[in-house]
Amino acid sequence: MSRTHSPTPTGTTAGTALRCLAAVAVFTGGLVHLQLYLHGYRSLPDADLGRSFVLNAVASTVVAVALIARTDTAVRLAGMAVSVGTLGAFAMSRVGDGVFGLREHGLQPSPQAAIALVAEVAALLLLALTFIPTIGAGERPSARLVLPAAAAVVLVAVAAGTWWDHTASAAASPADASTGAGGDTPSAPGSVEVKDFAFHPAHVTVHVGDTVTWTNHDQFSHSVVDKAGTFRSDPITPGHTFQHTFDAAGTYTYFCGIHPSMTATVVVTG
């Protein structure tokens, strides 16, 4: 309340801590975008979507490094701008037609969406606090500290990324160990594999009364939605399946309700 308190050295320390925590949060958001790009979104047909994820990762890294090394108002505002932009894209990708043909739902993909959401909100709040006069932006770290700190952050990021990768791959293909090394094993006529943001094969032919099974081998949730509305799955999480039995002959064009650019057909013969 009162502004008669003297600006204490603890205020400076708090400012430094806020700035560094914000840098970690911004960097975390960027890493999530890079991970999403490397493990799937680059496979989407719309290249602008992939580019926007890489751009986010690059901008986040640059801003994170600048936040640790500098106390400038411009750098802190840039950090807030990256967070606001990311949160805006997050919101836009969850309404209407989404962004660049990508329509996500709630906190999918999990856990990336939740991690990024928390990181961006945290960065925004932490940086906002540095604009309170009694807290301030803290001190610039000595040059001797910046390099070891940056190296430690990169090491932790790489280790976490490797572990995450390993875990996510295992989750996506629990029963797939026998076919993994041999490449694409020809599947039964009624089975479709969902992988790398595509349905494999894109065209299957079955008979009336046959059941088609979709298995999600991706690290992201997908769904199966008939264009004509005769069937519709819930989001199929990695490693899970959806089945539909076709009772009438015809050509069924379907798409992924989460990534509508993913389309394929089932031809049912009588």
Beta strand residue intervals within the chain, DSSP E? 191-195, 198-200, 203-207, 211-216, 225-226, 241-245, 250-255, 263-269
Q: Token digits for 137?
A: 């932006």
Phi, psi values for residue 8, rounded to 5°: -90, 165
Least gap, CB of 181 to Cu ion (angstroms): 26
Number of residues in contact with Cu ion, rule: CB under 5 A? 4
CA atoms within 13 A on the CB side of 109: 20
Q: Nearest approach, Cβ of 198 to Cu ion (angstroms)? A: 9
Among the residue ranges 34-42, 138-146, 231-239, 249-257, the one whose residues contact Cu ion (CB under 5 A): 249-257
Measure the CA–CA gap between 109 and 169, rounded to whole angstroms.
14
CB of 222 to Cu ion, least distance (A): 3
User: What's the min distance (Å) between Cβ of 45 and Cu ion?
Assistant: 12
Q: Which is nearer to Cu ion, 17 or 107 (CB)?
A: 107
- If the CB atoms of residues 34 and 44 are measured against Cu ion, the closer one turns out to be 44
For residue 63, give the DSSP letter. H
119, 236, 258, 266: which one contacts Cu ion (CB under 5 A)? 258
Task: Using the minimum distance from each CB to Cu ion, give the nearer residue, 137 or 258.
Answer: 258
What part of residues 170-229 is at the interface with Cu ion (CB under 5 A)? 222
Nearest CB to Cu ion, comparing residues 162 and 253: 253
Provide the phi-psi class of 197: left if phi over 0, else alpha when psi is between -120 and 50, else beta.
left
Query: Binding segment for Cu ion among 13-21, 28-36, 166-174, 252-260 (CB under 5 A)?
Result: 252-260
Asked whether the CA dihedral 115, 121, 125, 130 is positive or negative, the reply is positive
Residue 118 CB, shortest distance to Cu ion, in Å, is 24
Number of residues in the chain: 270
Which tokens go with 243?
């089945």
- Using CB under 5 A as the binding rule, whether residue 256 contacts Cu ion is answered as yes
Which range binds Cu ion by CB under 5 A, 72-80, 132-140, 167-175, 251-259? 251-259
Taking only Cα atoms into account, the Rg of the chain, rounded to an integer number of angstroms, comes to: 24
- What is the nearest approach in angstroms of Cu ion to the Cβ of residue 262? 5
Comparison of 27 and 53: residue with beta carbon closer to Cu ion: 53
Cβ-contact 219, 40 below 8 angstroms: yes
- List interacting residues with Cu ion (CB under 5 A): 222, 256, 258-259
